[in-house]
Amino acid sequence: MNSNIERLLKPTFWKVVATIIIILGLYTIYLRFTGGLAAVTNLSDHFPWGLWIGFDILCGVGMAAGGFTLCAVVYIFNIKKFKPIIRPTILTAFLGYLLVIFALLIDLGRPWAIWHAIIMWNPNSVMFEVAWCVMLYTTVLFLEFSPVILERFKAERLLKIIRGITIPLVVLGILLSTLHQSSLGALYLIAPTKMHPLWYSTNLPWFFYLSAIGVGCAMIIFESYLSAKAFKKNLEFELVSEVGRWIIVVMSAYLTWRFMDLLLNDKLNLLFEKSFETLLFWLEIIIGVIVPVILLSKQKIRLNRVGLFVSACFVIGGFLLNRLNVSVTSLQSTTIVSYFPSVYEIIITLFIVTLGVVIFNLAVQYLPVFEKSKETIPIEFEILTDEDFKTEAAK
């Protein structure tokens, strides 16, 4: 135990950085809850949603999308070979949602009233839907992750119950995620006159949904690369590499749809304007979609650890830019004030990212996240086609 603590306390560069960010973050939270939002943010009546909504919420939820995507692949499509990477992915999603709620508590003007959505209903509101999805899906994620904790503490009976309801949980999780990812886009449907036409579209919910699946896959790659480096866990690289192929499919569909949408709404001319918005639009599309799709479609790059990782980073970068474009850039064009996040807003965002990394680290060290699951459900039987049997028989 002593050596454990010693190891934890041994200062390294990243530990020092993390500690500094956490202290600054706590200080900012103190300022926020003693001086109000005005004390720490650059938000104003003309720009009521800033970096915290754009990054901490929109990006946070999107990057948690790997959880439901992989669950669908493993449990619904029954491609069991991906099982070894499901736990870290669910952990990411669960942590992501917890941090989103945490960020929300800082951003909301009256955080103590957050539970009001449970009893005060307005089903006409997309935000109402968002609130319910966050509550329900966080619960589902907790249950999906709970076997890891239960295994650690050997609570066999509870474990049995949870395993019994795995499939209903997974189905519920996929439905809630679909609703939630798309509803974040639907939030913006109400502002057709305020948003820049490059980003406003009645298809925004679908764009949010597809790009979330894309970035969810990218996060799987991103994390397994870093985990492999940090914990010397040799995560099945072939599996992760195949996730790279999914990205090609998802992001190509996304790209086609977005351009079709511009074409059908007579907005193609906007692509060639000399404006800040057009520049950012192209940046988002090139970084987040075109470059990674080209990279990943080359087998040599996809089967290369670094190549795969870099491609995933592009997807994530483009995704972050997209969400910030929707939530900040597109609204900037029609408002009279200009918004740039304050230092404190940036600190809180860094603080939340750091918390995520630290908690993930601790969970991996103390919980059986990467350990082979001891589930009794047989998973060894791959789907064999008749062809397979013939070749088997021929041998």
Partner 1 sequence: MNKKAFLIDITECVGCGACYEACKEQNNLPETSDDPLKDSLSDKTYTIVEQRGDYFVRNMCKHCEYPTCVSVCPVGAFTKTEIGAVIYDESKCLGCRYCMQACPFQIPRYEWGSLKPRVQKCIMCYDRVKEGNLPACAEACPTGATLFGDRDEMIALAKQKIAEEPEKYYSHIYGLEEVGGTSVLYLSPVPFEELGFNTKLPATALPNFTHEALSKIPTLVTVGGVLLTGFYWLTNRKNEIAKEKYSSQQKQRGEE
Q: Restricting to residues 75-134, name those near partner 1 by CB under 8 A.
A: 75-78, 108-111, 113-114, 116-117, 120-131
Q: What are phi and psi of 102, to 5 degrees?
A: -60, -45
Minimum distance, C-beta of residue 85 to partner 1, in the bound complex (Å): 19
CA 138 – CA 384 distance, rounded (Å):
36
The token duo for 125 is: 């509101």
Q: Is the Cβ of residue 188 or residue 225 nearer to partner 1 in the bound state? A: 188
Comparing CA positions, the residue from 256, 321, 236, 252 lying closest to residue 292 is 252
Which of 335, 362, 366, 391 is the binder for partner 1 (CB under 8 A)? Answer: 335
Name residue, tokens 């499939």. Answer: 167
Burial of 361 (0-12, 13-18, 19+ CB in 10 A): middle
The stretch among 151-159, 343-351, 367-375, 376-384 that binds partner 1 (CB under 8 A) is 376-384
Residues that contact partner 1, how many (by CB under 8 A): 66
CA 307 – CA 224 distance, rounded (Å):
14
- R_g of the chain, CA atoms, integer Å: 22
Q: What angle do CA 232, 233, 239 make, to 5 degrees?
A: 135
Minimum distance, C-beta of residue 389 to partner 1, in the bound complex (Å): 7
Burial of 280 (0-12, 13-18, 19+ CB in 10 A): buried
CB 8, CB 19: distance < 8 Å: no
Q: Is the Cβ of residue 175 or residue 310 nearer to partner 1 in the bound state? A: 175
Tell whether residue 139 is a contact of partner 1 (CB under 8 A): no
Q: What are phi and psi of 157, to 5 degrees?
A: -65, -45
Q: Is the Cβ of residue 9 or residue 383 nearer to partner 1 in the bound state? A: 383
Tell whether residue 348 is a contact of partner 1 (CB under 8 A): no
CB 316, CB 63: distance < 8 Å: yes
The token duo for 100 is: 């989103």
Residue 132, number of CB atoms within 10 A of its CB = 18
CA 89 – CA 100 distance, rounded (Å):
16
Which of 300, 381, 387, 394 is the binder for partner 1 (CB under 8 A)? Answer: 381
Q: Is the Cβ of residue 75 or residue 145 nearer to partner 1 in the bound state? A: 75
CB 221, CB 309: distance < 8 Å: yes
Helix then strand then coil, % of the chain, to nearest 5? 75, 0, 25
Q: Is the Cβ of residue 185 or residue 307 nearer to partner 1 in the bound state? A: 185
Per-residue interface string for the shown chain with partner 1, residues 191-230, x marking contact by CB under 8 A? xxxx-------x--x-------------------------
Which of 22, 135, 175, 290 is the binder for partner 1 (CB under 8 A)? Answer: 175
Minimum distance, C-beta of residue 153 to partner 1, in the bound complex (Å): 30
Minimum distance, C-beta of residue 148 to partner 1, in the bound complex (Å): 22
Minimum distance, C-beta of residue 182 to partner 1, in the bound complex (Å): 8
Tell whether residue 178 is a contact of partner 1 (CB under 8 A): yes
Per-residue interface string for the shown chain with partner 1, residues 289-308, x marking contact by CB under 8 A? --------------------
Tell whether residue 38 is a contact of partner 1 (CB under 8 A): yes
Q: Is the Cβ of residue 118 or residue 343 nearer to partner 1 in the bound state? A: 118
CB 53, CB 327: distance < 8 Å: yes
Tell whether residue 264 is a contact of partner 1 (CB under 8 A): no
Minimum distance, C-beta of residue 305 to partner 1, in the bound complex (Å): 30
Please report, as ranges, the residues that interact with partner 1 according to CB under 8 A.
33-39, 41, 43-46, 48-49, 72, 75-78, 108-111, 113-114, 116-117, 120-131, 167, 171, 174-175, 178-179, 182-183, 186-187, 189-194, 202, 205, 335, 378, 381-384, 389, 392-393
